[in-house]
Structure 1
C-alpha cells in the first residue's frame, strides 16, 4: 500500500512510502478490537482498598454484659459495626482488575487498528515533526491546513521536543512515541498521523 508522505506545511515531502500489508493491510474484525479495548480499559482500573470487616477485627468475642437486666440491647460481640473499633459493615473489598490476553491477540488488534485507519483514509504520514519554533499558534495553523481534526500523532523512539511543547496546549492533538501505540487511543481519535520513523518502528515491531 502506497501513501503520500506530507510535511507539516501541507506539501509533499518527497517520494511515497510503501506500507507493509501485513501491518497496514489486514481486514479489521470487530470482535478482536473489542477484546483488546476491553482488556486495556480493565488494566487501567485500580483496585479498591479493602476495609476490615467484622471477621477481620481483632477484638474479643466474649459476651460483655448480662443477657437481661442491663437496660441496654443484648450485645454479645465487640466486633459489631455499631461499636467504635468494630468491623465495617459491607465495606469495600479488594477486586482483581488484572485480566490477561494472549500476546498474539494484542498484536493482531494493533495491526487491525492501524489497518482500519489506512483503509478509511484516516492515516497521514509525515516526513518528520520538525518545527521552526515551539509556538502553539504557528503549529495550530499548520495542522489546520492538513485538516486533521482530533488526531493522534505517533513519532519514533523519541518525541520531537519542539513539537511536543507546541502541541501540549492543543486539545485535539495527542502525541505518543512508537512504543506507546495502542488500540484504544488509535480508535478513539479521528485521524492517525505517523512519521516515517514511526512507520519503521511499527513495522519492525511486528516483523522482528
Structure 2
C-alpha cells in the first residue's frame, strides 16, 4: 500500500510503501477487545494483603471464662475488636495478570494500525523535529489532525518534550506502540523511522 509522506508543514515529501501484512489487515472487534482487555488488566496493581485473624502474632490463650464474667466472650486477642488484632474482611492479594498468546497480541497491534489506514486517519511524516510547543501546535493545526492525536516516532527524542504539554496529544516511541493508545486516538501520526521499526518488529 502506497501512502503519501508529508513534512510537519503539510508539504509533500514523496511516498512510502507500507507493508500490507501490517497496515492492511482487516480489523476484527473480538481480537481488538481481547488485546485491550488484557492490556488494561496488566496495568492493574493488586492491593497489599492485610493480616487477618489467623495471620496476627498474638496470644491464643482464652481471655477469661466463657460464662459469668459479665463481659463479651472472646477466644483470644487476635479478634478484630482488639487493638493489634487481625483485620476483618481485609484486602487480599489478587492476580490481575491474565496471559494472552503473543500471536494474538501481534495481530491486535496490526489490526489497530490497519484500522487507521483504512479510515484515512493515518498521517506519515518525513520526520519529527521541532523546538517549541507553540510551533508544534501550529503544525498540528496545519496537518488537520483530530481532537486526540497519537504521534509515534522511532525514538523518544528531544522533540517529544515540545508536545507533552499539548492537550489531546500523546507521543510514544515505536517500542511503546500499543493497541489501546492507537485505538483511542482520532488521528495516528507515524514517522518514516517509526514505520520501519514497526514493520521490523513484526518481520523480526
The verdict on a shared fold, with TM-score over 0.5 as the criterion, is yes
**Structure 1, gaps ≥5 residues long:** none
Does residue 96 of the first structure (1) align with residue 92 of the second (2)?
no
CA-based RMSD of the aligned residues comes to 1.0
Residue 6 of structure 2 corresponds to 6
**SS of alignment partner, residue 12 of structure 2:** coil
Partners of 1:103 and 1:153 lie apart in 2 by 24
1:52-71 aligned within 5 A: 52-71=51-70
The residue correspondences of 1:1-208 to structure 2 (distance < 5 A) are: 1-13=1-13, 15-131=14-130, 134-149=131-146, 150-156=148-154, 158-161=155-158, 163-208=159-204
Aligned partners of 1:67, 1:168: CA distance in 2, in Å?
A: 67
- Where 1:104 maps in the other structure, the secondary structure is helix
State the 1:76 CA deviation: 1.8
Give 1:71 shift.
Answer: 2.1
Distance in 1 (alpha carbons) for counterparts of 2:42 and 2:73 = 47
Q: For residues 74 and 130 of structure 1, do their structure 2 counterparts lie closer, same or farther at Cα, with a shift above 3 Å needed?
A: closer
TM-superposed CA distance for 1:67, in Å, is: 2.2
CA separation in 2, counterparts of 1:173 and 1:140?
A: 10
Q: Indicate the SS of the match to 1:56.
A: coil
The Cα shift of 1:69 comes to: 2.9
What is the alpha-carbon distance in structure 2 between the residues aligned to residue 130 and residue 51 of structure 1?
A: 50
Q: Provide TM-score, normalisation by structure 2.
A: 0.96
SS in 2 for 1:34: helix
Unaligned runs of 5+ in 2: none
